[in-house]
Amino acid sequence: MDKRRLVELDQDLLYWILSHCSLRDCIRMGAVCKSFLLVSRWSTRTRPPQLPWLMMVSNPKSTSAEEARSFFSLSDQTMYDAIKFPEMCGKRCCGSFNNARACGWLMTTDDKNRKMRLFHPWRRIQLQLPTHSNLPRRRYPFDCDDPYLEVVKIRTAAMSDDSKVVVVIHDTATLAFCRRGVDKLWTRVIRTKVNEVNRRGVVFDDVIYHNGQFYTVTMYGCVGVLRINTANPYVEILSEEVRVTVNPYVEILTKDSKVDSYPRTYLVADSTSDRLFICLRNSLSIQEVERDPYDYDSRRTLGFKVYELGWVENGEYKKKPTEVESLGDRVIFLGQNSSMLVMASQFPGFKGNRIYFTDDFMEASSFKSPLGCVDLGIFDMEDKTVEPLFSKRFHPTFSPPIWIAPPL
């Protein structure tokens, strides 16, 4: 049918058609024209809540891989066909946002022209951010086509509910923020108020937006709050550290290989109880001694430890986090995305007390693994085991898989 005739279809008829379509078909119909997009947005909003989707490069060997993305749905265990996003061609996706009105936005960066943008894949909207010209850059000869290109690696990012303030942690493990539409450059946060109980260097690992504040966590599990409405922005550390050692498995050596530990610390907010959860991830990379030093044969997550930071009577968070053995009905999603938490009881057949994780090591490291992103799985808090995320093996992806909010 001629596209011009499709545009002329009655909206009531379109509503009726979309009400009988799958979510995937609604998304595809929204790409036809603006009138279809408006109707498809209404249709997706009337559907029941959806579990997060996993976005990944559809096929690294394809010539159109730079702009095409595939989506894996947990709700129906389906890998959806690739969708082309010309807005993402030549760009790295370095984060997703999942809080309130910021839900569904992605952060992209272009290393060649140093541009950073916010992109909403379902609404096809782009918003300009300051360039990363004043953020520290390094060369990654093993990680890009141009060995002399200096790039900025974004470890994680967070955005306020009104989408006006964006905070990033770059590869030097320091914070920077911008007020979108106002600032021309990123403001680096170099001051930290540290309690006497925290004597080690401050290395930030994650940042989230919760209850009108930006909270961050260090590699050692110290939670802090970012104070940006001052002449000299700083981070105020609120809690004690929880990680005893950074490399608990570094001494695991064999005759033919050596093992390196890559710990990672995440911060998760539970909006139903205002609790903060500190998730400590222990991952190993096994390197064959006789091979190339950058050829890692196996990288896997061994497990997580979770600590809770609750409120005290005066409305402040406790100083000392307590370890929790069970998440109860909660399910946590971790990776290159801003952390997500859902209640399993809202999704029939979905099991709680689990942590779903993706391989976010590649974006923070200085080289690419030849296997791509392969460390994806589900950690069961009850029996402390890790199982594969996919029921069947999909090809490894060479761009970090990211949990995103589906179109609702």
CB neighbour class for 148 (10 Å; exposed up to 12, middle 13-18, buried from 19): exposed
Looking at the predicted structure, is the pLDDT value of residue 250 above 60?
Answer: no
* Gap between the Cα atoms of 107 and 93, Å rounded: 6
pLDDT digits (tens, 9 = 90+) for 112-167: 788 899 999 888 889 999 988 878 665 444 445 554 456 677 888 999 988 889 99
Q: What is the mean pLDDT of the chain?
A: 76
Looking at the predicted structure, is the pLDDT value of residue 198 above 50?
Answer: no
Q: What is the mean pLDDT of residues 226-235?
A: 91
Q: What is the mean pLDDT of residues 314-337?
A: 89
With contact defined as beta carbons under 8 Å apart, do 154 and 139 qualify? no
Q: Judging by DSSP bridges, how do beta strands 354-357 and 330-334 pair with one another?
A: parallel
With contact defined as beta carbons under 8 Å apart, do 358 and 403 qualify? yes
Q: What is the pLDDT of residue 306?
A: 96
Q: What is the pLDDT of residue 396?
A: 52
Q: What is the mean pLDDT of residues 382-407?
A: 75
Query: Which has the higher per-residue pLDDT, 402 or 197?
Result: 402
Buried b vs exposed e over 107-142: b needs ≥16 C-beta within 10 Å? bbbbbeebbbbbbbbbeeeeeebbbbeebebeebee
C-alpha closest to that of 242 among 169, 156, 168, 304: 304
| H/E run at residue 155 | strand 154-159
Q: What is the pLDDT of residue 31?
A: 61
pLDDT digits (tens, 9 = 90+) for 10-33: 666 666 666 666 666 666 666 666
Q: Which pLDDT band holds residue 356 (cuts at 50, 70, 90)?
A: very high
pLDDT digits (tens, 9 = 90+) for 79-121: 877 888 888 888 888 889 987 677 889 999 887 788 899 999 8
Domain 48-404, CATH 3.30.70 — does that match? no
Q: Which of 79-83, 143-147, 267-271, 360-364 is predicted with the least confidence, judged by mean pLDDT? A: 143-147
Looking at the predicted structure, is the pLDDT value of residue 407 above 80?
Answer: no
What percent of the chain is predicted at pLDDT more than 70? 64
Global pTM value:
0.81
* Domain range list for the chain: 1-47, 48-404
Q: What is the pLDDT of residue 393?
A: 53
Q: What is the pLDDT of residue 79?
A: 80
pLDDT digits (tens, 9 = 90+) for 165-192: 999 987 778 899 999 989 999 998 987 7
Token output for 256: 């033919």
Looking at the predicted structure, is the pLDDT value of residue 49 above 90?
Answer: no
With contact defined as beta carbons under 8 Å apart, do 41 and 406 qualify? no
Looking at the predicted structure, is the pLDDT value of residue 333 above 80?
Answer: yes
Q: Which of 152-161, 195-204, 364-373 is predicted with the least confidence, judged by mean pLDDT? A: 364-373
Q: What is the mean pLDDT of residues 354-359?
A: 92
C-alpha closest to that of 24 among 102, 116, 122: 122
* Gap between the Cα atoms of 67 and 64, Å rounded: 6
Identity of the residue numbered 111: D
